Amino acid sequence: MRTRNPILNDTRRRAILVAASTCFVKQGFHSTAMKDICIAAGMSPGTLYHYFASKTDIIVGIIAADGEITRALLAPLADAADFLETLFAILDAIAADLTAEELALHTEIAAEILRQPALRAAQLALDGETQAMIADSLRTAQARQQIDRTLEPQHTAKLVLAVIDGLLWRATVEGVSALAVCITAAKQALARMLLEPERTL
C-alpha cells in the first residue's frame, strides 16, 4: 500500500471541481453527464471516481469552495474603516459578475441540499461559520460606533445573510437585469437595519 500524495490529490480535486462547475453552470446539474466532466477535466471515469465518490460528492466540494469564496469576500468586514460602506462594496462585487446561469445553479444546489441530508449538514456548518464571522465583525463595528449598539450581533448577522439571500433569490426570479434594483433595495434595508435611527441615510 503506497502512501497518498496530498499535493496531487488536492490538484486533481480542484481541477475536477473547476471542470464540474463550468459544466454545471453551462448545462445545469442534472443535464451534465459524468462523461462531460471527465472530458472537461481530461481524465477517465475511474480517475474521477478516485477523487469523488459520486456526483453528489462533487456538490459537497462546490459548496465548500463557495464557502471559502464567501469567507474571503466577507473578510474585509472584520477590520473595516466603515462597516456599512464595506458591506455595500461587497454586495456590488457579488453582483458584478453574476450570470443567470450561476443563479440557476445556485437554485439547483439549493434543491439538492433540500433532498439530501448529507448536503444539508455540510451547508448548515458553513452557514454557521459565515454567520459567526459576520457577528464578530458587527461587534467590532459596534465598538467603533459604526453600527447601532443595541443590536444583538448573532441575530443581526442572521438578518444580514437573509437580506443577501433574498437579494439573490429575487434576482433569480426576476432575472439578472433586475439585479441593480434589487441591490439598491437591499442596501436601503441594510442601512435601516444596522444604523441608529437618527443616523439613517
Partner DNA sequence: ACCTGAACACCGTTCAAGT
Binding site for its own copies (CB under 8 A): 28, 30-31, 100, 103-104, 107-108, 110-111, 114-115, 162, 165-166, 169-170, 172-173
Shorter beta-carbon distance to DNA: residue 59 or 157: 59
Least distance to its own copies, CB of residue 13, Å = 25
Least distance to its own copies, CB of residue 57, Å = 16
Provide the CA 46 distance to its chain's centre, in angstroms. 30
Scan residues 25-64 and list those touching DNA (CB under 7 A).
32-35, 43-47, 49-51, 53-56
Shorter beta-carbon distance to DNA: residue 37 or 194: 37
Q: Which does 110 bind (CB under 5 to 8 A by kind): DNA, its own copies, none?
A: its own copies
Residues 6+ positions from 174 with CB-CB distance below 8 Å: 182
Written as nine digits, the cell of 42 is 481530461
Query: Cβ distance 193 to 156 under 8 Å?
Result: yes
Q: Which does 125 bind (CB under 5 to 8 A by kind): DNA, its own copies, none?
A: none
Least distance to its own copies, CB of residue 102, Å = 11
Least distance to its own copies, CB of residue 28, Å = 5
| Burial class of 171 by CB neighbour count within 10 A (0 to 12, 13 to 18, 19+) | buried
| Burial class of 48 by CB neighbour count within 10 A (0 to 12, 13 to 18, 19+) | buried
Largest CA distance in the chain: 68
